[in-house]
Chain A
Amino acid sequence: MKKLLDYSMMAAALAVILIAVAMLPDHGPRHAKAQSTVLGPNIYAYTAVTTAQTIIGPNPTRHALQICNPGATNILWIAPLGLAIGGQTGAIVTAITPSANGAGTVGVPVTPASGIVTCFSPPTNAPSIGQGWAGFSTTTPVTIYEWP
């Protein structure tokens, strides 16, 4: 009787081990799991921004931003929508109107004839990703990729 009990205990233990092994994660290549939603950047496209205007507003939940100049001729000039001017002690919050070669602006160069589109991204390790930007150019198109 005791032997029979031992056998059944061994069988139960073996079953537990088999179930545990079956539940172990697969050690083969990991594949991305299917996602319930289609994920990708928000895309904003302008054929031209011939007068200085807001090209993307602030978004505190933004994770990444690229402001691209796919044009071949004209530099895209951008500037943050809000600024504290005058260094660390500056308390004046205002904005700079982007203009060609203008102080306080950032120029996004044209894309080379055969090359990767030239894009600008703000510093990533700073609370700058959510910043809104204004843009200006004479004829160049603008494409913005925003990862929310």
Chain B
Amino acid sequence: MTLPGGVTSGIPIYTPVVGTGADQAALAANNLRRGLLFHNPSATVVFYLMPQPLTGSVAAALNTGIQMPVGSTVIIDDLFCTCAWRVISSAAGGSLTCLEWQ
């Protein structure tokens, strides 16, 4: 089954995020999203996630939001997670794995 955007059902959507050391967008809002997985495969960089409100924007900041230490995983599959997400990294470099299923 092909979903809007040409995405095949059951195939996760991967959004690559590379840490910049500054607040940046990680995921756009997606009303079709049903499951979300964040993982920090980096060796040294720590990420901080900030879910976004329906209106306006909240910048991601160090030591706030959802901390993702090295090697950590956050899975959201039984709570609403269709909002946009912003992220900041403790330093430039490192990557954040963002997988979403819809």
Measured CA separation A104–B100 after assembly (Å)? 12
With an 8 A cutoff between CB atoms, is A145 at the interface? no
B77/A127 in contact, CB under 8 A: no
Known A-B contacts A101-B41, A124-B78; the reply to A84 vs B71 at CB < 8 A is no
- Scan residues 82-127 of chain A and give those whose CB is less than 8 A from a CB of chain B: 82-91, 93, 96, 101-107, 109, 120-127
Residues of chain A contacted by B34 (CB below 8 angstroms): 123, 125-127
With an 8 A cutoff between CB atoms, is B24 at the interface? no
Residues of chain B contacted by A122 (CB below 8 angstroms): 35, 37, 75, 101
Interface string of B21-35 (1 = CB under 8 A from A): 000000110100011
Measured CA separation A72–B18 after assembly (Å)? 29
Residues of chain B contacted by A103 (CB below 8 angstroms): 16, 18, 41, 95, 97
Residues of chain A contacted by B14 (CB below 8 angstroms): 80, 83-86, 90, 96, 104
Measured CA separation A131–B13 after assembly (Å)? 12
Question: Per a CB cutoff under 8 Å, which of A83, A120, A127 touches B9?
Answer: A127
- Scan residues 60-94 of chain B and give those whose CB is less than 8 A from a CB of chain A: 71, 73, 75-78
Task: State how many residues of chain B have any CB contact under 8 Å with chain A.
Answer: 36
Question: Per a CB cutoff under 8 Å, which of A88, A120, A128 touches B5?
Answer: A88
With an 8 A cutoff between CB atoms, is B56 at the interface? no
Q: How far is the CB of B23 from chain A (nearest CB, A)?
A: 18
Task: State how many residues of chain A have any CB contact under 8 Å with chain B.
Answer: 36
A120/B95 in contact, CB under 8 A: no
Q: How far is the CB of B19 from chain A (nearest CB, A)?
A: 11
B41/A102 in contact, CB under 8 A: yes
Question: Per a CB cutoff under 8 Å, which of A82, A96, A106, A109 touches B11?
Answer: A82
Question: Per a CB cutoff under 8 Å, which of A91, A104, A125 touches B16?
Answer: A104
A106/B39 in contact, CB under 8 A: yes
- Scan residues 55-83 of chain A and give those whose CB is less than 8 A from a CB of chain B: 58, 60, 75, 77, 80, 82-83
Q: A84-B12, A131-B10 are in contact. List 14 more A-B contacts (CB 8 A).
A: A80-B14, A83-B11, A88-B4, A90-B15, A91-B6, A105-B97, A106-B39, A122-B101, A123-B76, A123-B101, A125-B35, A125-B77, A125-B78, A126-B35
Show the binding face of A for B, using Cβ within 8 Å.
58, 60, 75, 77, 80, 82-91, 93, 96, 101-107, 109, 120-128, 130-131
